[in-house]
Structure formats: structure tokens, C-alpha cells
Amino acid sequence: MVLREWEGALAREQASGAGAGEPASFAAKAAVNAMVSSRANMAPLFRRFEKGDLEDDILRPVVEIVQAAQERRYVDANDGYLRLSIGKAAWPIGVTMVGIHERSAREKLHNGERGHIMSDEVTRKYLQSIKRCLTFAQVRWPPEDIRQMMG
């Protein structure tokens, strides 16, 4: 629904904006490209929904994000997106061995667990597309409570 509305909004904007003979602005082209790429990147997610083979550790947070967005609780939807995309994976920043003693948490960095969810390219793309849809939805359907605005 959000993708259809996004496409319609861009079509209305282009129809009311530049005339038929004028080329579209760079921003207009970028907006259309973002929508088209989001739609293409979400196709694997929709196929997995149809097949019913989406893992529970992805399905539950996506449902939570969608429900929060439908209720116009965009801050909560964004929090769900961040928990899903970043998760609880260790993010080593900089040097992990700064002294002669090994840190007690160092073994948790590479313990063979599935890393964060963004390590899979297809998953990363459809999660980023979900975030783009949230951003559009917030503009198209603003929340009644201003505290629910993202960013």
C-alpha cells in the first residue's frame, strides 16, 4: 500500500510540476529512483511472505514495524527497525587488542553465531527499503502526536 501511494504521490508531483517539455529536476529523478529501487528490493521479501518461509527472527520485528507504522507510531517503528537491522551483534570498533591482556568480552566478537542481519545483501536491501517506506509514510500520513515523528 505504501509503495502504491508513494508511486502515486510522485506521479501527481510530476504532473503538477514541470511541463511536458521540461526535463525533471535531479531531486525528482532521485525520488523516483528511490521508489523504484525500494519496490524492486522488497520483491524478495514479498516472495518470502507468499511462500511462508520467512524466519521468525525477521518476521516478528517486521510485523511489529508495520503495526507501529499503521498506528502512526513512527518512533516505535524506527526503534523496531533499528533492533532488527543492528540487533545485538557485537560491533568491534577500532583495535580489539589494546594491551597485553585479552579482554573478557573478546571471544563474543567471533563466536560463530549468525552475525547481524545486515550481513545478507538481499535482506539488507529490503530492510533499507522498509526504512524508506517508513520515511515516506511519516510525510504522507503524519502522526497526531508530534513526539512520534522520526528524526
Domain 2-88+119-148 has CATH 1.20.940.10: yes
What DSSP element (H or E) covers 56? helix 56-70
Q: What is the CA radius of gyration of the chain?
A: 20
Write the single-letter amino acid at 90.
A
Residue 23 is predicted with a pLDDT of 63
Rounded distance, CA 42 to CA 55, Å?
Answer: 16
Residue 94 is predicted with a pLDDT of 60
pLDDT digit string, tens, across residues 82-118: 998 887 666 666 655 555 655 555 555 444 444 556 6
* Prediction pTM value: 0.75
Write phi, then psi, for 22 (nearest 5 degrees): -90, 140
Using a 10 angstrom Cβ sphere, with 0-12 exposed, 13-18 middle and 19 or more buried, the burial of residue 74 is buried
Question: Is a pLDDT exceeding 50 seen at residue 16?
Answer: yes
pLDDT-derived band at 77, boundaries 50, 70, 90 = very high
pLDDT-derived band at 66, boundaries 50, 70, 90 = very high
Spatial contact of 68 and 86, defined as CB atoms under 8 Å apart: no
